[in-house]
Amino acid sequence: MLGIETSCDETAVAVLKRGRVTAETIVAQNDLHADFGGVVPELASRQHARAITRSISDVLRQSQLSSPAKDLDGVAVTYGPGLAGSLMVGVSAAKALSLAWDVPLVAVDHMEGHLFAGTLMSPVDLPSLTLLVSGGHSQLIEITEPGRYVELGGTLDDAAGEAFDKVARLLGLSFPGGPEIERVALLGDGSYIRFPRALSGDTLDFSFSGLKTAVLRYLEIHGPVNVNDVAAAFQEAVVDALAHKVGMALRKREYRSVVIGGGVAANTLLRSRIEELCAAAGVKAVIPPKRLCTDNGAMIAAAGAFRLGLGQVAALDIGIDTSLSLA
Ligand code: KG4
Ligand code: ZN
């Protein structure tokens, strides 16, 4: 299965053979957007258009597929959610390949892709609890049978990754903010600053805009501060909030596995906190390697293989869906 991902600012293509990645390429655009503190849609789509053909030919060469038309089961592509112009580049390329090679086109939900990154590591035992945390989403999802997703909690305002990106900007760090905050937090001590935590009460929803405002107020009141300490305290607050909700969900029902996915799942503190929680609860933790947490083509190929197995082939006139929702 060929997987193509262009929903945001990574042109990512991979080939998956029997659940193993045999070729992959990721062209990131961080430098392009760094000065703006966020992804500029118009620049992103242009860069995808420049990179996509080369990316596809690179993975085909790496994977040593002698005849894609014969050797590929299908071409899977992200068709939403994401940026319209960016999605269109990947979808157009996938349609062209599907038509030229006469192989099935499979339309994949980007968030289902993040969810399937875990399956590239180990089987996901059901019922499963999945924490999806990316630049646009924070979701707690329950899976009781393959392909059926129930959202237990979602984003009320800023997504977790968005909070990392916005706070990084407040702290004068570059984009994307998550890895930057993680890097400087290692040098800091956040223990004497306590930012607000999760929404209280019984809800499994997430809210991070209050936390962002609290960081802003802190900076206004305290003037020039030690950025490393503020970053460490902020990271601690986000991870605490996420782990708290996962812990709450684990107490409500018995799960056989906990999966994490999305760019924020690359965060080392979050990974270790989830591992501890799962160990204490006696639940299997499925924590994909960091490169499979951020956007990549392999996760799209994996979700595509699942959808194709259900016979879900997309028509060649399929459109994009910028606000597609998994559950
Ligand atoms: O899943 P992803 O690559 O793209 C989207 O689907 O949005 O996630 C990107 C988000 C960004 O907000 C980025 O700051 C965050 O994931 N991120 C991290 C880390 N690496 C990426 N956040 C915290 N710690 C990290 N190590
Ligand atoms: Zn993503």
**Which ligand has the minimum distance to the alpha carbon of residue 266?**
1
Amino acid at 235: Q
**Which ligand has the minimum distance to the alpha carbon of residue 293?**
1
Q: Place 58 in a pLDDT band, splitting at 50, 70 and 90.
A: very high
Residue 198 scores a pLDDT above 80: no
5 lines ligand 1 (CB under 6 A): no
- Residue of minimum CA distance from atom 3 in ligand 1: 294
Residue 108 scores a pLDDT above 90: yes
CA distance 122 to 274: 17
294 lines ligand 1 (CB under 6 A): yes
Q: Taking a C-beta distance cutoff of 8 angstroms, is the pair 26, 296 a contact?
A: yes
Q: Given this model, what pLDDT does residue 224 score?
A: 86
Residue 129 scores a pLDDT above 80: yes
Q: Which atom of ligand 1 is nearest to the CA of 261?
A: 1
Q: What is the DSSP string of 74-132?
A: -EEEEEESS-HHHHHHHHHHHHHHHHHHT--EEEEEHHHHHHHHGGGTS--PSSEEEEE
Q: Given this model, what pLDDT does residue 239 score?
A: 97
Q: Given this model, what pLDDT does residue 34 score?
A: 87
8 lines ligand 1 (CB under 6 A): yes
229 lines ligand 1 (CB under 6 A): no
Q: How far is the CA of 262 from the centre of ligand 2 (A)?
A: 5
Quick: pLDDT tens for 59-102: 999 999 889 999 999 999 999 999 999 999 999 999 999 999 99
Q: What is the mean pLDDT of residues 107-119?
A: 97
- Give residues whose Cβ lies within 5 Å of ion ligand 2: 134, 295
Q: Given this model, what pLDDT does residue 223 score?
A: 87
Q: What is the mean pLDDT of residues 140-146?
A: 97
Longest CA–CA separation in the chain, Å: 65
CA distance 273 to 243: 7
Q: How far is the CA of 62 from the centre of ligand 2 (A)?
A: 24
Q: How far is the CA of 44 from the centre of ligand 1 (A)?
A: 16
Q: How far is the CA of 70 from the centre of ligand 2 (A)?
A: 30
- For the chain, give the mean pLDDT: 96
Q: Given this model, what pLDDT does residue 107 score?
A: 98
234 lines ligand 1 (CB under 6 A): no
Put simply, whether the predicted model's pTM sits higher than 0.95 gets the answer yes
Q: Given this model, what pLDDT does residue 327 score?
A: 86
Q: Given this model, what pLDDT does residue 201 score?
A: 85
